[in-house]
């Protein structure tokens, strides 16, 4: 009798086990786990600058539309490429399918991008372009690039500043890092606009590494050295806000100051009149298109080698 009960229970357990397996198999087909979604790593320069918060927002919209898993990481400031390299290596070890990178340095980031490529990770470059010649020399194949025409943006902002000049002006250009291609392009665009205007004398062009406090100190230093400065173009809004802070403290309301990015504080400064112009490079669209491009690559869909988002000149 005991053996009969045991046999009956064994059959019941086996039946339940098989039923559980059937249900589990069916569930796996109908509802994929999170780990089965494409895993995309977005690495930006810093979240201190609101520009990158907007970029993240656009990237998350793309990931939601395509049902992808998005991991967002950044350095603690916009020049620490070493932190970006560490972040990427960490996630290469844990496993990702695609990488979307806004590099802090256009050259130093290349070796880790090559490692990603060699592991089969799809790589997309946004915002600041990886140096194409250095990448080719290192053996990294061309990677899709999503950004704006930074030289044109710098030119348009500086051209607008020049149009406000009555007579002549002495100009200071506050650059980003000279290792960043987008910083170089914005500076070159501004210099071309000033040269074209014919009534702007460039007295100095120096870097403040995207930082408000460094731009404040540089503006103070350059104004002491060149007291006739009355026009400032900064290659991003954080640096423009540093120049504005100095101008406000010294009651230099006649200064013409321009920036680049159209972050919220800059938009407010435009409305108040302290900032005459900024450039909206639609950070959300860069993030959105960067992630979309990465997911297209994972699906073997052909993509454009370069996608340029429109720049918008903001003056009110």
- Once rounded to an integer, what is the mean pLDDT over residues 68-94? 95
- The helix-helix angle for 150-163 and 181-197 (nearest 10°) equals 30
Query: Hey, do 34-147+283-308 and 150-280 end up sharing a CATH topology, with the first three levels equal?
Result: yes
Map out the domains of the chain as residue ranges: 34-147+283-308, 150-280
- Annotation: CATH topology of 150-280: Rossmann fold (3.40.50)
Percentage of the chain beyond pLDDT 90 is: 85
Q: Which CATH number fits domain 34-147+283-308: 3.40.50.2300, 3.30.1360.40, 3.30.1360.70, 3.60.20.10?
A: 3.40.50.2300
**Per-residue pLDDT tens over the stretch 224-272:** 999 999 999 999 999 999 999 999 999 999 999 999 999 999 999 999 9
Q: Rounded to whole angstroms, how far apart are CA atoms 257 and 161?
A: 7
Question: Is the pLDDT reported for residue 9 higher than 70?
Answer: no
- Output the pLDDT for position 49: 87
pTM for the structure as a whole: 0.82
35 falls in which pLDDT band (50, 70, 90)? Answer: low
Strands 312-314 and 278-280: antiparallel
- Once rounded to an integer, what is the mean pLDDT over residues 153-164? 98
Question: Is the pLDDT reported for residue 129 higher than 50?
Answer: yes
Question: Computed from CA positions of residues 161, 284, 99, 87, in that sequence, does the dihedral angle turn out positive or negative?
Answer: positive
């Amino acid at each position: 009798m005991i053996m009969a009960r045991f046999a009956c229970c064994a059959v019941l357990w086996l039946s339940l086990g098989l039923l559980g397996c059937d249900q589990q198999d069916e569930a796996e087909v109908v509802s994929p786990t999170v780990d089965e979604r494409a895993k995309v790593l977005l690495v930006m320069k810093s979240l201190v600058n609101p520009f990158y918060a907007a970029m993240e927002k656009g990237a998350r919209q793309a990931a939601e539309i395509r049902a992808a898993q998005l991991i967002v990481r950044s350095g603690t400031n916009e020049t620490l490429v070493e932190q970006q390299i560490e972040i990427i290596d960490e996630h290469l070890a844990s496993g990702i399918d695609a990488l979307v990178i806004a590099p802090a340095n256009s050259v130093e980031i290349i070796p880790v991008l090559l490692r990603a490529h060699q592991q089969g990770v799809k790589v997309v470059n946004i915002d600041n372009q990886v140096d194409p010649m250095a990448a080719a020399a290192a053996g990294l194949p061309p990677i899709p690039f999503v950004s704006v025409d930074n030289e044109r943006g710098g030119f348009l902002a500086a051209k607008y500043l020049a149009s406000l000049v009555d007579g002549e002006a002495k100009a200071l250009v506050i650059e980003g890092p000279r290792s960043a291609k987008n910083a170089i392009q914005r500076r070159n665009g501004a210099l071309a606009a000033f040269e074209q205007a014919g009534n702007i004398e460039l007295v100095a062009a120096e870097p403040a590494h995207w930082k408000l406090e460094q731009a404040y100190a540089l503006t103070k230093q350059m104004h002491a050295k060149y007291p006739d400065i009355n026009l400032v173009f900064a290659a991003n809004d954080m640096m423009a806000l540093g120049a504005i802070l100095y101008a406000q403290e010294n009651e230099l309301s006649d200064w013409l100051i321009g920036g680049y990015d159209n972050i919220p504080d800059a938009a407010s400064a435009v409305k108040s009149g302290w900032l005459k112009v900024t450039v909206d490079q639609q950070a959300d669209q860069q993030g959105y298109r960067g992630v979309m491009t990465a997911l297209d690559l994972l699906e073997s869909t052909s993509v454009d080698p370069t996608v340029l988002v429109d720049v918008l000149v903001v003056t009110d």
